[in-house]
Amino acid sequence: MPPSDMTEEEKVFKDPVHGYIYVHDPVIWALINTKEVQRLRRIRQLGTSSVTYPGGDHTRFSHSLGVYEVIRQILLAFDRNGYQWPHHLDRLAMVSGLLHDVGHAAYSHALEQVIGMRHERWSERIILDPGTEVHRVLEEVYPGFAQQVADVIGKRYPNSLVVSLVSGQLDADRLDYLMRDSIFTGVDYGKFDLARIIRVMLPKEGKIVVRRSGLHTVEAYLLARYFMYWQVYFHPVSRSAEVILRAILSRAEEVHDTLFMPHPALQKLFGGQIGLADYLAIDDSVLMNAFNVWQTVSDSILSDLCRRLVDRHLFKYVEFPGSSPKVYQEIAHDVESLGYDPRYYCLVDETGTVYYDYYLGEEGTSGKEGALFLWDEERGQLIEMSRLSKPISAIARERQMVRRLYLPKEVLTHPVVGPRIVQRIHQDQDRLH
Ligand code: NI
């Protein structure tokens, strides 16, 4: 599309994170109006988190617009500061930001496990499939544009600056979702000074880096990430809903031959032959409706699990750090003795992250893409973040793992079995120490 077509009327969205989201480029506007992007209105950003934080009901759609807006603001700031930046790639960067989650699965990451394909791969597929509206809009820009966008999202695009704006240590995706999740859940210490981060970012030696004067702003951002993991993403009650959701999906798969499917795409999903159209048809409402309907099916395990999720009668948990398989077997046996199938009622949930990962090469500055660098103007060199920051070096690299055992409340409060389970876990922990 020639630049002369870009002088259309400005479109705006009101947004609690960025104030306003501005759209000038008709390509962005056309993409927002495709059915694949509109589908993201029907997928919540945080999956099961609203069982804990009732406000955390915002959608992938608002996040996708937000990522686009963050990239737009970063490019404007580069321009204002006179930084060298390949402006012919502006549209590619903004489009890739808008579409980075277009293939996200409904509800949460639990569904990805059933299908066995990560959402990033689905995003690329949606962008490249000639049958999608997104693909048609992209190919009208110029032939091959869709492939470039897929390459940015798949981190194969040769210009590393554009890739790192969309997915890197300090990318537009994280900047938007951390702020958005913090604002919508009400978890205030997840906030950081986004406007200032954008002001101190600059492109240098093929990377997005930060001016040295922005050290504390970036520290606040990385600490916000740390708090958000503990307060929101690892929250034990949200994880409990996620665990039950996984159990429902695996039970539905087990009995799918005889199970009533309220939507034809679900038959394909559990039959193991899901195509792109079926995948796109499954949004949060399709799954929620299935869980509602399955509350009354004859399979007592599935109906019970669905009632627990719908009515929020979630499983209770005990911390279960590195316990031996033998201990799990003994507990599973106890659970079974009370009439519960341990495959669905004795569930280990393991999750984890690295807040800030880096690897330094021999000169101390040639890290892999995970490292964050500060630009020291006076010395004319890049310095890896953790070398200048005590708090960041304290949380860097270490993989934070959370391992919990989820059981029905009735099991943990059982007068004989409950205390025995807890005792077994404690004895096993004592042995480890
Ligand atoms: Ni995202």
User: Which domain CATH number covers 31?
Assistant: 1.10.3210.10
Q: Do 29 and 104 sit in the same domain of this protein? A: yes
CB 57 within 8 A of CB 184: yes
CA 304 – ligand 1 centroid, Å = 33
Are both 12 and 61 inside the same structural domain? yes
Given this model, what pLDDT does residue 156 score? 94
Ligand 1 centroid distance, CA of 205 (Å):
26
Distance 167 CA to ligand 1 centre (A): 9
- Range in 63-77, 204-218, 357-371, 387-401 the model is least confident about: 357-371
User: Hey, is 207 helix, strand or coil?
Assistant: strand
**358 has pLDDT over 70:** no
Residue of 149, 155, 151, 157 whose CA lies nearest to 168: 155
- Which of 138, 160, 158 shows the shortest CA–CA distance to 149? 138
Residues 86 and 112 in one domain: yes
How many separate domains does the chain show?
3
In the reported structure, the alpha carbon of residue 64 is separated from the centroid of ligand 1 by a whole-number distance in angstroms of 7
Ligand 1: centre distance to CA 427 (Å): 42
> Do 257 and 336 reside in the same domain of the chain?
no
Distance 261 CA to ligand 1 centre (A): 30
Looking at residue 433, its pLDDT comes to 64
- Highest mean pLDDT of the ranges 152-156, 269-273, 393-397: 152-156
- How many Å lie between the centroid of ligand 1 and the Cα of residue 99? 9
State the distance from the centre of ligand 1 to the C-alpha of 132, rounded, in angstroms.
Answer: 21
Structural domain contains residue 38:
yes
The reply to whether 335 and 299 lie within a common domain is no
- Provide the domain limits for residue 252: 235-308
Residues with Cβ within 8 Å of 15's Cβ and at least 6 positions away in sequence, in order, are: 21, 62, 65, 66, 69
Measured CA to CA in angstroms, residue 37 lies from 40, 62, 150 at distances of 6, 11, 15
Cα–ligand 1 centroid distance for 422 (angstroms): 38
Residue 206 forms part of a structural domain: no
Distance 310 CA to ligand 1 centre (A): 26
Whole-number Å distance between alpha carbons of 225 and 247: 29
**pLDDT tier at 1 (50, 70, 90 boundaries)?**
very low
Query: Is residue 385 in some structural domain?
Result: no
The two structure tokens encoding residue 110: 């639990």
Contact 128, 135 (CB under 8 A): yes
In-domain check, residue 52 = yes
CB 23 within 8 A of CB 11: yes
- Centre of ligand 1 to C-alpha 164, Å, is 14
Please say if the pLDDT value at position 368 is more than 60: no
- Are residue 263 and residue 341 in the same domain, yes or no? no
Residues 17 and 129 in one domain: yes
Residue 109 is assigned to a structural domain of this protein? yes
Report the range of poorest mean pLDDT among 10-19, 191-200, 270-279: 270-279
CA angle 110, 115, 117 (to 5 degrees): 95
182 plus 142 within the same structural domain: yes
Q: Give the CATH number, domain containing residue 261.
A: 1.20.1250.30
d(CA 63, ligand 1 centre) in Å: 7
Q: What is the pLDDT of residue 370?
A: 67
Distance from the CA of 173 to the center of ligand 1, in angstroms?
A: 5
Q: Give dist(CA 426, CA 429) in Å, integer.
A: 5
Q: How far is the CA of 433 from the centre of ligand 1 (A)?
A: 39
pLDDT confidence of residue 397: 66
Nearest to 24 by CA among 47, 2, 45, 5: 5
Cα torsion 71, 77, 80, 86: sign: negative
* 3 pLDDT more than 60: no
Claim to verify: residue 17 and residue 146 sit in the same structural domain = yes
Taking CA atoms, 308 is separated from 113, 294, 422, in Å, by 21, 11, 23
Phi, psi of 107 (to 5 degrees): 70, -60
Q: Is residue 103 part of a domain?
A: yes
User: To the nearest whole percent, how much of the chain has pLDDT over 70?
Assistant: 94
3-class SS of residue 235: coil
Q: Is residue 360 part of a domain?
A: no
Residues 303 and 328 in one domain: no
Q: pLDDT grade, residue 362 (50/70/90)?
A: very low
Alpha helices (H) along 142-275: 145-153, 160-166, 172-185, 194-200, 215-228, 236-254, 264-271
- Best CA proximity match to 11, nearest among 38, 31, 39: 31
The residues whose Cβ lies within 5 A of ligand 1, an ion, are 101, 173
Distance 329 CA to ligand 1 centre (A): 38
CB 3 within 8 Å of CB 141: no
- The DSSP result for 329-368, as a single string, is HHHHHHHHHTT--HHHHSEEEEEEEESS-----TTSS---
Q: Which of 147, 142, 235 is nearest to 186 (CA)?
A: 235
Q: What is the DSSP letter of 267?
A: H
147-156 burial, b for 16+ CB within 10 Å, e for fewer? ebbbbbbeee
The whole-number average pLDDT for the span 16-24 is: 97
Q: Are 345 and 298 in the same domain? A: no
Q: What is the pLDDT of residues 31-80, one digit of tens each?
A: 999 999 999 999 999 999 999 999 999 999 999 999 999 999 999 999 99
User: How does pLDDT run across 139-149, given as a tens digit for each residue?
Assistant: 999 999 999 99
**Is the CB of residue 242 less than 8 Å from the CB of residue 48?**
yes
Distance CA 137, CA 426 (A): 58
SS3 134: helix
Residue 363 lies in a domain: no
pTM of the model: 0.92
d(CA 74, CA 160): 16
Residue 54 CA to ligand 1 center (angstroms) comes to 21
Tokens representing 385 are 């973040």
Whether residue 304 sits in one domain with residue 345: no
- Beta-bridge mates of residue 21: 13
CA of 40 to the centre of ligand 1 (A): 11
**C-alpha 41 to ligand 1 mean position (Å):** 14
- The last residue of one of the domains, among 275, 308, 341, is 308
